[in-house]
Amino acid sequence: MITILTRYLTLFVLTLLVLAALSFSLAYLFPGDVLTNLSGITPQNEIQREALARQYKLDQGYFFQFIHYIGQLLSGNWGYSFISGLPLRDEIGIAMPATIELSTYAMLIAIVIGIPVGYYAGMKGYTTADHTINSISLFSYSFPVYWLALVFILVFSLELGIAPLSGRISLLFDIPNVTGFILIDTLLADGIDRGLAFRDALHHMVLPTLAIAIITTAAMIRLTRRSVIDVLSRPYITAARSRGLSRWQIFSRHILRNALLPILPLMAIQITTLITNAMIVETLFSWPGIGNWLIQAIYQRDYPALRIGMLAVSTLVITLTILIDLFNRLIDPSREKYERGTV
Amino acid sequence: MFAGFVRRCCVILTTALCVAACSKSPQDSFYQSGIVYCSESNPVNFNPQLDTSGTTSDATSHQIYGRLLDFEPDTGRIIPSLAESWLISDDGLTYTFQLRKDVNFHTTEYFTPSRTFNADDVLFSINRWRLPSHPYHNVSGGRYPYFESLGLAENIASVSRINGYRVEITLQRRDSSFLANLATDFSVILSEEYAQHLLNRGVPERIDHFPIGTGPFKFDSYRKDHYIRYQRNDNYWKNEVTAEQLIYDITPKSSLRLAKLITSECDAIAFPAQTELEIIRNRENLLLAEKPGLNIGFWAFNTQRPPFDNPDVRRALAFAIDKNTLLEAVYFGSATRAKTLLPGASWAYQADADDTAYNPVLARKLLDDAGVEPGFTMTIWAIPVERAYNPNAAKMAELIQRYLADVGIRATIVTYDWTTFRRHLREGLHDSVLIGWSADNGDPDNFYRPLLSCGAIPSGTNRAMWCNNDYDKLLNQALQTEDTAQRKAIYQQVNRLLYEQLPIVPIAHAYRYRAYRDELEGMTINPYGGVRFGGVSKAQ
């Protein structure tokens, strides 16, 4: 157990170090002044410039600069956006939870709908019901998320007028950013009609969440179905049948758990896709998340923001992937203890 | 079994969508308490004295601040505002203003005023841009482009306080457009008490980012690229029905603004694109107000760069383009052809002014005579933002590029983000630029002086970098008289001079549009300057 944890921790730290190194080198690779790319501040005169250069240890070798950079990252000094002039940590602190929130709800929908439907399709393997579910999910899986979101906007917002197309909540509500999760924040806010604000936030969330969830749900269905069909072909199922167990008994005792295990690592891969999709959908729904924020940064050539944004997104993805893999390792007895951690 | 399952899923999904969808019933009074305006861009700061861009004055001038005088939207007449009345001496040099009493400044989280508006505030607001020695003059950069472009500071001899509610301004020379200048979006009144308070705390620059004014709304919060939030000023001196909240939802894409207007996420939008006007007209619950605008879109040559310093070259380029095609392709008929700087709405408009005509053969000949060889390359800078006077500068630049190719000139189109664009323009890095001007008051001087006078080069509104002493002399002469017929005659001479020199090619005067939902009450178009939401509310 300890060995496994240590292995994963080492893997995690090493990956982050590589990412930090990449992010640090971006300051040199991006066009413009290294100092400005690192700090987000354009020095107004030589004195300020020297002070900044000392602060970022630019007078020393790359290695020391990098060590210092890590220190700055850890202490929360991420520099400033040179477009808005705000600390990047605050900006990401607002944008990141918005993306996580969107992805979480989409993942929940995908799990709650995708896995049961997948089991159902797998149990009914190669019947009409299975073929129908399978083709529908294949169909939805092949939608580009970009297109799906646009169709949603066109149909539900512009034609039917039943859902808003931008933002997280009507701007008339002044919701202070506490947790960064709008649904929770509406319930914590003072001096407003919380129920109304909560419903308004939910209302804004429906379309973007569905646009992302549909594709992930389709993926879940396909993964689960495949896994169930695999389990069904195992000899122990045949043995159970020959012992005269009922379908329900076979399902609950042998299929349910055994089919779930292979799905977990595949879910980790889905999370990467999910976050990518969320970032695309954000830009269409003007959702103030990290994807939208990065697009703006690219558009405005805000290099300090791009440098930190890239690091933040990749850290999120790596963390989730490693956590799921670790969880999977801890609950799956069939995997050997000396197996190495993977990203 | 399977069909049943699918049916159940559908039912669940539809219900979820409906629960969420039906939550926003239009009857809910909360949604009626505030107005959301989808604006096109971020303000540079919250003090229109410091910036001539329409975005800044839209976000501040009529919302947060008040002015001594105002324009009546329908007639353009100057009417009292914070000054209740005024007197002009016989020699036209001394103006005495009687100020309104019991006008409250905003009480906000960051400032609580202890006194009401008085003469000190007027002195502070004017002296800030007028006197380089003023403690606030250099706060936030020390540039006051509007006043600089008009040379107003040099013309004011003194501003003095007679008593708490009476102010006297003395000019060096007569200026018949002086009152009009005090009524523009830029001549806002700041709070002297607040300025003193900030100075004592050592943070004077906050005055331009956390504004305090006397206007119908007080500033609440601002997040760049997202929103500006205002609360109603309950102590506003004018008795108007105004919404409790005003929110600027910053939405740079014009199509997205329209989409939000349709889904009622915005109640009013800035700059609907010309291509979208039909859609708005055809929608039942959307209104489109239009008025001929006080603006001009033009093509300016950098007259300090050869060969554009030669009037014949400029004339040749003017003959090379077909203005009517530009009007149709870029404005879709929502503009009139410009002959001079002044639009038809101005009293000094000259209907029979000379205009250039499309004549590529003549253009080529003039170029040959001036020694500009075929294959000559130049740049056309196109503004990166939509403006009423030029809704699509990039497209116009492409059309002009093709016209110029016909006369053997290779043009490249240049564009940057708005801030960089304006900085480079000021530095004079362009050969020619497609830009324009929205006037701030109905006075002709407001077109001629900021756009082409020598004094407007350093302030960055003279995009042609053109300086002509005869021109400046004529403009000054026009301000010496109050007689409009006499002034009109002088402006006709100015037009003649401009036609001979062609530092800029006037292209179009665009209509002004504002699109809003029909439940907004009290919404008007103000041809003289920015949008105003005082007195606007939603039908209950």
Map out the domains of chain B with their CATH numbers.
48-208 (3.90.76.10), 295-512 (3.10.105.10)
Residue A145: its pLDDT value, please? 92
Q: What percent of chain A has pLDDT over 90?
A: 47
Q: Do B225 and A84 touch (CB under 8 A)?
A: yes
pLDDT at B492 over 70: yes
Residue in chain A lying closest to B16 (CA): A206
Question: CA-CA distance, A266 to A114, in Å (whole number)?
Answer: 13
Question: CA-CA distance, B531 to B515, in Å (whole number)?
Answer: 12
Structure tokens at B99: 């100020």
Residue B55: its pLDDT value, please? 87
Residues 6+ apart with CB under 8 A from B443: B176, B177, B180, B181
Q: What are the pLDDT digits (tens) for B202-247?
A: 999 999 999 999 999 999 999 888 899 999 999 999 988 899 999 9
pLDDT at A333 over 90: no
- Residue A36, domain member (yes or no): no
Contact (CB, 8 A) for B451 and B341: yes
Best of A172, A198, A205, A287 to disrupt the B interface (most B CBs within 10 Å) is A172
- Residue A97, domain member (yes or no): yes
Q: How confident is the model at residue B338 (pLDDT cuts 50, 70, 90)?
A: very high
Look at residues B203, B195, B227, B201 and name the one whose alpha carbon lies nearest to residue B59: B227
Structure tokens at A39: 């700090």
CB pairs A-B closer than 8 Å:
91
- Residue A298, domain member (yes or no): no
Average pLDDT over residues B528-532: 82
Q: For residue B223, list its beta bridge partners.
A: B227
Residue in chain B lying closest to A153 (CA): B259
Q: What are the pLDDT digits (tens) for A259-295?
A: 888 888 788 788 888 999 999 999 999 999 999 999 8
Residue A84: its pLDDT value, please? 78
Question: CA-CA distance, A37 to A26, in Å (whole number)?
Answer: 8
Residue in chain B lying closest to A112 (CA): B9
Q: What is the DSSP letter of B8?
A: H
Contact (CB, 8 A) for B493 and B241: no
Residue B134: its pLDDT value, please? 94
Question: What average pLDDT is seen over chain A?
Answer: 88
- Chain B residues inside the 8 Å CB shell of A199: 20, 23-24
Range of the domain at A142: 88-292
What are the two backbone dihedrals, phi and then psi, of residue B225, each rounded to the nearest 5 degrees? Answer: 65, 0
> Does the CA dihedral B530-B41-B251-B216 come out positive or negative?
negative
Q: Do B31 and A172 touch (CB under 8 A)?
A: yes
Q: How confident is the model at residue A327 (pLDDT cuts 50, 70, 90)?
A: confident
Q: Hey, which bits of B68-173 come out as E strands?
A: 69-71, 78-80, 83-88, 94-99, 156-163, 166-171
- Chain B residues inside the 8 Å CB shell of A206: 16-17, 20-21
Q: What are the pLDDT digits (tens) for B141-158?
A: 888 988 888 888 889 999
- Residue A72, domain member (yes or no): no
Q: What is the DSSP letter of B187?
A: -
What is the pTM assigned to this prediction? 0.81
H/E run at residue B247: strand B245-250
What DSSP letter does each residue of B474-494 carry, written as one string? HHHHHHT---HHHHHHHHHHH
- Residue A166, domain member (yes or no): yes
Instruction: Please state the three-class secondary structure of chain A as a single string.
Output: CHHHHHHHHHHHHHHHHHHHHHHHHHHHHCCCCHHHHHHCCCCCCHHHHHHHHHHCCCCCCHHHHHHHHHHHHHCCCCCECCCCCCEHHHHHHHHHHHHHHHHHHHHHHHHHHHHHHHHHHHHCCCCHHHHHHHHHHHHHHCCCHHHHHHHHHHHHHHHCCCCCCCCCCCCCCCCCCCCCCHHHHHHHCCCCCHHHHHHHHHHHHHHHHHHHHHHHHHHHHHHHHHHHHHHHCCHHHHHHHHCCCCHHHHHHHHHHHHHHHHHHHHHHHHHHHHHHHHHHHHHHCCCCCHHHHHHHHHHCCCHHHHHHHHHHHHHHHHHHHHHHHHHHHHHCCCCCCCCCCCC
Question: CA-CA distance, A280 to A276, in Å (whole number)?
Answer: 6
Q: Which of B224, B251, B263 sits opposite A157 (nearest CB)?
A: B263
pLDDT at B83 over 80: yes
CB distance from B28 to chain A under 8 Å?
yes
- Residue A339, domain member (yes or no): no
- Chain A residues inside the 8 Å CB shell of B20: 163, 199, 202-203, 205-206
The domain that contains A251 carries what CATH number? Answer: 1.10.3720.10
Quote the Cα angle for B407-B412-B417, to 5°. 145
H/E run at residue B512: strand B504-517
Residue A337: its pLDDT value, please? 54
> Does the CA dihedral A174-A177-A183-A188 come out positive or negative?
negative
CB distance from A120 to chain B under 8 Å?
yes
Q: Do A196 and B30 touch (CB under 8 A)?
A: yes
pLDDT at B470 over 90: yes
Structure tokens at B431: 């050969």
- Residue A66, domain member (yes or no): no
- Chain B residues inside the 8 Å CB shell of A203: 20-21, 23-24
Look at residues A305, A323, A327 and name the one whose alpha carbon lies nearest to residue A38: A305
Q: Do A133 and B24 touch (CB under 8 A)?
A: no
Contact (CB, 8 A) for B67 and B183: yes
Look at residues B300, B340, B290, B323 and name the one whose alpha carbon lies nearest to residue B444: B340
Question: CA-CA distance, B296 to B435, in Å (whole number)?
Answer: 9
List the 203-242 stretch of B: residues with Cβ below 8 A of A: 220-221, 224-227, 229
Distance from A35 to chain B by nearest Cα, in Å? 20
Residue B106: its pLDDT value, please? 96
Q: Which of B20, B30, B247 sits opposite A171 (nearest CB)?
A: B247
Look at residues B35, B193, B222 and name the one whose alpha carbon lies nearest to residue B125: B193
Q: Do A157 and B259 touch (CB under 8 A)?
A: yes
Average pLDDT over residues B305-313: 92
Exposed e or buried b for every residue in B149-174, given b needs 16+ CB within 10 A?
bbbbbebbeebeeeeebbbbbebeeb
Q: What is the DSSP letter of B189?
A: P
Residue B2: its pLDDT value, please? 46
Distance from B38 to chain A by nearest Cα, in Å? 11
Torsion (CA) B321, B327, B328, B331 in degrees, nearest 10: 140
Question: CA-CA distance, B342 to B484, in Å (whole number)?
Answer: 15
CB distance from A196 to chain B under 8 Å?
yes
- Number of separate domains in chain A: 1
Instruction: Tokens 């579910």: give the residue.
Output: A133
- Residue A159, domain member (yes or no): yes
> Does the CA dihedral B509-B78-B461-B363 come out positive or negative?
positive
Q: What are the pLDDT digits (tens) for A176-211?
A: 888 889 999 999 988 888 899 999 999 999 999 999
Best of B25, B224, B267, B286 to disrupt the A interface (most A CBs within 10 Å) is B224
Structure tokens at B487: 């002034």
H/E run at residue B405: helix B393-406
ipTM confidence: 0.81
Q: What are the pLDDT digits (tens) for B379-435?
A: 999 998 888 888 889 999 999 999 999 999 999 999 887 778 888 888 899 999 999
